[in-house]
Structures are given as C-alpha cells and as structure tokens.
Structure 1
Amino acid sequence: MNKPTPARLAAAALMIASAALALPAHAHYLWLEQGAKTSRLYFGEYEERLHERSPGRLDEMPAPEIRAVDRSGKLSGLDAVRGTDGFTFPMPQGSSGIVAEETGYAVKDWTRYGIGVVKPMFYARLLTGPAPVAPVLPLDIVPTGKASEFRVVFRGAPLAGVEVRIVAPNTWSREERTGQDGTVRVSYPWRGQYILQVVHKESVEGVFGNQRFEAVRHRMTATLSVRNGAATSVPAQWEASKMD
C-alpha cells in the first residue's frame, strides 16, 4: 500500500473540516455536564465532540436561563458565565438537578431539511440520581423512579410514540420510542456520561423577532452519569443501530 503524501493528508484534513462546517444547524442542541465544583452548558453535538465557540455559533444562544431544581420542582436561578466554548455555573449542593432553557433563539428556515420555518426552543436537564422528579420544562425527560426508566412529558402530559436518541459515553447511539404512557427504558453498556435527546414539533404559528414561523420545534436533552459496570465490547443491538 502506498503511503499517503502530505498533499493527500492535507486534502483529507480539509474534507473533514468542511464536513464539520456543513453540519446542519437543526442537529445542534444544548446539553449539561456536571463538574466537581462548577458545571457547564454546551451548544453543539456531543456525539461529534463538537462544542460551539464564542465568537462564533455559541453566540446564537443569546441568554440561556440555568436553574437548580429540587424534588418538588421548585426552581432557583443560577449565575452563569459565558466562556469561549460554553457557559459555566456553580454546582449547588442538595439539588435534584439542573435545568436550562433557551427561548431567544432566532426563527430558522429549515425547509430544505424537511422541517419548515420554525421557532427553535432548546431545553436541557442534568440528572443527579434515579429518583423521580417533577417535570418543569415545556418538553422534559424525567426519571420515573423505576430502574433505567424515563418519561417524556410535553406541557405536563406524557408524550407517546416519540423517538428518544440515546448517546453513550463513546458517542455510539441508538433510538427507542416511548410507549403510550410516555416511558422508555434505557440500557447502559458502558460506564460514563449518557445523553438522551428528544425533538418534538408543535404545530403553532406565530411571530418572533418580526419573523413569522409555522411551527415551534422543541429540542430537549437529559444528561446522566453511570458509575457501575462497563462492557468492553459493543453489544449486538447497539452495533446494529450505530449512526455514522
């Protein structure tokens, strides 16, 4: 086999960079990550190891609201600092998790992706344990209290038949659908951080920032950490559903 020349390596690097720049905007989302003393809110794509930066596309998020939430659903605001690749905030003691919400994202014409002209809404939740918690976001993912079970809720009601994308720590992913009660079971082949994603399009027309939209596109993520056990090989069901 011939060794790649510097010119070929440069061309390959350019193709990879171009592919990253071409990632469709509608695939981006917010997600939370917990640290020892401070935690972060990111915008991009976890499975692509993509963290949007400022100056740059991170600035499309004008003012995400980050709040601590207790078991009853009581919310307390947190002061976040915008950095070059995300938002940093102190991790409060004794909370059942963190939620983030960005409602100021501009109207987008994603017609060429089959989505239409929409008002995107972004939500994120950081779960600190498996205990059940009250939904507090318009589109939310919350644990039910049963092992590895979550419920997807939209405006207080279970959301049936919606696709939940599960991204593993090694960026492998698969999809499951919620049942009639809005619940979904999740398996954890590896130790580390998992992110659950849900998208729901609401057929509501309106105007935002002098721009008309034909629907509201809600996008939600829930981040959780798994400490116990880790498979050293890829389970067959994950292999079959890996998304490139």
Structure 2
Amino acid sequence: MLRWMPFAALLLAAAAPAAAHQLWLEREGRTARAYFGEPVENLRETTGGLLDRIPGPRAFAADPATPLPLTRAADHFSIALPAGAGDVRLVEDAIPPFGRAGAEDRLKTIMLAREGRSETQHRLDLELVPVAAGSDTFTLLLRGRPLPRAEVTLVAPPRWERRLRTDAEGRVRFETPWAGRYLAEAIHTENTPGGSGDGAYARLRFVSTLSFLVERGIPWTDR
C-alpha cells in the first residue's frame, strides 16, 4: 500500500447503492467531461454498463436555468462550454430511489459536481466553495449555509485519498503539493421524505464533488 507523505492516507469505504462511485467533472478548453466511477482507482464506467445508472444529468455554467449541450459518449458525458465560461456544474437528480418501495429507509441520491475554483458563489444544494478565487480553503455549503464537522475526502494526483473534516464554520483546507487534478467529495444525508408512488423515499442523500487543477507543484505522471 502506497503512503501519502507527509500526510496520513486513509482509504474511504463508502456504503451506498453505488459504493465508492462518484460523478465528477474534468475540463479541457471549451469541453467538460462528466465521469462516473472511482477516481482513486482511475475507473470510469461505460455506456452499456454502470454509466447507464446516470440517466439524465444537467450541466450549466453561470445560470442553472440555462443548461449546456450535453451528449453521452462511451465513458463520459461531453459538455460544450460557451466562450468565457467560468466554473462548470452538473446535477443528476433523476436516479430512482434505492430500496424497497415503502421502506422506512428508502434512499434518494442526488449527485452534484463542480469543476473549477474561480467563483466564490454557490449554485448547488451541497457545494464546496472557495473562500477566494484559486484558494485552497473552501466552505462546504448546504443550501447556502456552512456545514460544520462534515467529512470531506480529497483525492490527490497520485490517487491517494485523505479524509478531512470541516471546522465549526464549515471550512476545510486542502494541501496541494502536486501539480495535477484534485478531486474532493462531500456527502450529506438527511431524513427528508419526498416523492410519490414508486418514486417515494424517506431519506435524501447528496453526493457532491469538486475538481480543480493545480498547475505548479511536484510533477506527477501516471505510470
């Protein structure tokens, strides 16, 4: 087992309908790609397989009411970005509830993703927001309010994971010594029933990711 030095590396074992799977964004120029899988394992699910569990994501830049063009590809969703677009966000709230219909613990999962740390506004129900553009310090916001003492998992470019917790003000700071892409995940579950018929659920679970690039740092190349 590799160790993240000088930081303590802890593997995250997530209990969920798609255990340890995340939905995250990567960006290159005027194209963003949404992947579903396990970034720490460099696993990306494919169409015809588990990617089909993501039925209808919506992507947007500045305005949630203005969705961006999105197409399904072999192992991702491709998102066309307008010129000058800032941070990009994605919402997937069409996943059917998990569990037996009528069960007291039936769970509805909403998956959220953000790429970039240039904007200090929140636009998702659960979102890691930088305290300043380009900052390594973030506030975890739940419906616009800081979420204290919440667990956040960071995946660094060498694909090591580290568990952190937000402080009393909902803030968390990431160490970013390597150049490359970092990905953070936060999860929040609440006893909020909703839906009706086959879509009824007893609990609501938000899974939110943030990814961003660090251009300067210790070089890292996948081997």
Could you tell me the TM-score, scaled by structure 2's length?
Answer: 0.83
Q: Secondary structure at the match of 2:206?
A: strand
**Aligned partners of 1:119 and 1:208 also within 8 Å:** no
Residues 122 and 74 of structure 1: is their aligned pair in 2 closer, same or farther, counting only changes over 3 Å? Answer: closer
Aligned-pair CA distance for 1:133:
1.9
1:56-75 → structure 2 map (5 Å cutoff): 56-69=49-62
Letter in 1 for 2:97: V
2:218 aligns with 230
Q: Equivalents in 2 of 1:58, 1:141: separation in Å?
A: 24
User: What are the superposed Cα offsets for residues 160-213 of structure 1, whole Å, 9 maximum, x if unpaired?
Assistant: 000010001111010111011111011112110000100000111233561432
Q: Secondary structure at the match of 2:40?
A: helix
Q: Does 1:133 align with 2:120?
A: yes
Residues 74 and 28 of structure 1: is their aligned pair in 2 closer, same or farther, counting only changes over 3 Å? Answer: closer
**Identity %, equivalent residues:** 33
1:35 aligns with 28
1:149-164 → structure 2 map (5 Å cutoff): 149-164=137-152
2:3 aligns with none
**Aligned partners of 1:169 and 1:193 also within 8 Å:** yes
2:75 aligns with 85
Runs of 4+ in structure 1 over 4 Å off: none
Over aligned residues, Cα RMSD in angstroms?
Answer: 2.1
Q: Equivalents in 2 of 1:95, 1:180: separation in Å?
A: 33
**Aligned partners of 1:189 and 1:231 also within 8 Å:** no
Letter in 2 for 1:161: R
2:42 aligns with 49
Q: Does 1:26 align with 2:15?
A: no
1:171 aligns with 159
2:109 aligns with 120
User: What are the superposed Cα offsets for residues 73-119 of structure 1, whole Å, 9 maximum, x if unpaired?
Assistant: 67632101101111011233222210000000011139xxxxx4210
Q: Equivalents in 1 of 2:48, 2:218: separation in Å?
A: 38
**Aligned partners of 1:198 and 1:220 also within 8 Å:** yes
Letter in 2 for 1:203: N
**Aligned partners of 1:123 and 1:139 also within 8 Å:** yes
Aligned-pair CA distance for 1:24:
6.2
2:132 aligns with 145
Query: Which deviates the most, 163-172 or 142-151?
Result: 142-151
Q: Secondary structure at the match of 1:164?
A: strand
Q: Equivalents in 2 of 1:208, 1:178: separation in Å?
A: 34
Residues 41 and 209 of structure 1: is their aligned pair in 2 closer, same or farther, counting only changes over 3 Å? Answer: farther
1:203 aligns with 191
Q: Equivalents in 1 of 2:61, 2:195: separation in Å?
A: 30
Structure 1: gaps spanning 5 or more residues: 1-22, 111-115, 233-244
Letter in 2 for 1:121: I
**Aligned partners of 1:35 and 1:91 also within 8 Å:** no
Alignment length, in residue pairs? 200
Letter in 1 for 2:61: A
Aligned-pair CA distance for 1:37:
3.5
Residues 91 and 42 of structure 1: is their aligned pair in 2 closer, same or farther, counting only changes over 3 Å? Answer: same
Q: Secondary structure at the match of 1:171?
A: coil
Residues 27 and 117 of structure 1: is their aligned pair in 2 closer, same or farther, counting only changes over 3 Å? Answer: farther
